Structures are given as C-alpha cells and as structure tokens.
Structure 1
Amino acid sequence: MAKILVCDDSAFMRMMLKKVLIEQGHEIVGEAGDGMEAVAQYEKLQPELVTMDITMPKMDGIEAVRRIHELNPVARIVMVTALGQKAIITDALRAGAADFIVKPFDPEKVASIVKKVLDLDAV
C-alpha cells in the first residue's frame, strides 16, 4: 500500500480521511494544515500520494499542487473538495492534480480513486 500525505486545513477532515485511508491499508506519513506546509512536507517526506484540500490558508491547494509539480512533475495528487466547486476542480486538474474526492467522503469512492491514481504508472 501507499505512503500518503494528507493536507486539509480542517483537523477533523484530516482525521476522517486518515481513518478511511488507514482502514484501506495505507500508511499516513504526514499531514499539513495549509498549502505552504503541504509543499514543505511533500519535499521532506516524498510520499507516493498526496490528498490536497482546495481551500486552505497561506496558500490554496491549487497553488500547492503547482509548487509540488515543480519539485516532482510526476507527483500523484488527489484534490479534496466540497460539492459545487466544479470550476475550481477544473483548475486543480489543469495544475496537475490526477483526480478528486468529494466531501463528505464515501470510503469506497476514496479507495477506487486512490487505487486508480496509484496505478497510473502501471498502465
């Protein structure tokens, strides 16, 4: 299973997503509460996958995705978004995100998206 960095400004959302991912057998190697911390943690931890909230303080998730892709053009990032942010999701995908998860989390949907994104290089 994968080493994952969980980024969300809500400690509750990080906890919920971590619980889902750990139950699926993944290892949470770190977490970040804002975009700047997300980029720093990515650089330090080199996770196999990042979950990135779009709306965060200091630096939003889309800018954090751009910066992570400057560090590693093949970084695997899954955006985490609330319902009704379709235009923002498009921006996130253009910035380099591989896919997105919608809050509230459906564990089966999280599992299938994470598996799909991790399998991208296996295709």
Structure 2
Amino acid sequence: MYTVLTVDDSSFMRTWIKRLLASNDLITTLEAASGLEAILTYRKMKPDLVILDYNMPELTGLEVLKRIKKIDPQARVVMCSSLGTSFNVENCLAAGAIDFVIKPEFSGLVEIVTKTLNIKSESNS
C-alpha cells in the first residue's frame, strides 16, 4: 500500500485528485488544505508521494517543497498549478520536484504517480 498526500487549498481540487487516484486500490490518499498542514502531515505520516499545489495562501507550494525536502531529501513531490510557466516549472524542478503537472486537466498525473511508486498497471499484469 502506498500513501499519497494531496495538498491544495481548494477542497474541490483535493477531491478531484483523490478521484483520479481512486482507481488504484494500492493507493491511499491523505489531504492537507495548507502548506503548514502539509509540512506537519509529512513529518507525521511520511507519505510515499506528495502532490502539491504551487499557488496557496501563506506558504507557497515552492516554499512547502523546499521545507519538505529539508525534512526528507528523498521526498518525492509532484507540483501542480494552473500557472505552468517555464519559470515556475524550472524553479520547482530545481528545488527537487520530480515533475510538474498543469491543472485542472492533470494530464499524465496518474501515470507519473504509478511510475514514481513503481506500481504496475492492471493492463500490464
């Protein structure tokens, strides 16, 4: 069983990501509505993967990414944002994100999660 922490200030977006990942019964999801909550949840639960919104109040996703990487340099974090400018993408990848996904489409997110967690898809079984 793998644990994925979804971090977004929008409950709709957290629910949407949870639904995208629900098709895989090897994945359980945790949620955080703020950057501070994400950091505390990461410390306590040590999820296998974090899906982190870039634009959040108080702490930006980039700041949360940097703090999580200080806690655990091996942390695997996928950033997501509707503002996928090359500047934002480059900053996140430079700070240690493994990928950057544009929302609300989340194109490729399920594939990134299964590849990162090394989960075989049912069609390949």
Same fold judged by TM-score > 0.5? Answer: yes
Larger CA deviation: 33-42 vs 77-86: 77-86
**Structure 2-normalised TM-score?**
0.86
Query: Which residue does the alignment assign to 2:6?
Result: 6
Query: Which residue does the alignment assign to 1:72?
Result: 72
Q: Which 5+ residue runs of structure 1 have no aligned equivalent?
A: none
Whether 1:114 and 2:113 are equivalent positions in the alignment is yes
- 2:49–2:76 CA contact under 8 A, matched in 1: yes
Residues 23-34 of structure 1 correspond to what in structure 2 (within 5 A)? 23-25=23-25, 26-28=27-29, 30-34=30-34
User: Partners of 2:106 and 2:49 in 1: how far apart?
Assistant: 18
Residues 1-123 of structure 1 correspond to what in structure 2 (within 5 A)? 1-25=1-25, 26-28=27-29, 30-106=30-106, 109-119=108-118
Q: Percent identity?
A: 39
CA offset at residue 85 of structure 1?
2.4
CA offset at residue 2 of structure 1?
1.9
- 2:84–2:102 CA contact under 8 A, matched in 1: no
Task: Name the count of aligned residue pairs.
Answer: 117
User: Which protein is bigger by CA-based radius of gyration?
Assistant: 2
**Structure 1-normalised TM-score?**
0.87
Distance 1:80 1:99, change over 3 A: same
Q: Which 5+ residue runs of structure 2 have no aligned equivalent?
A: 119-125
CA offset at residue 81 of structure 1?
1.3
Cα deviation digits, residues 7-57 of structure 1 (max 9, x gap): 0011100000011111233111x2111111111110011100000000011
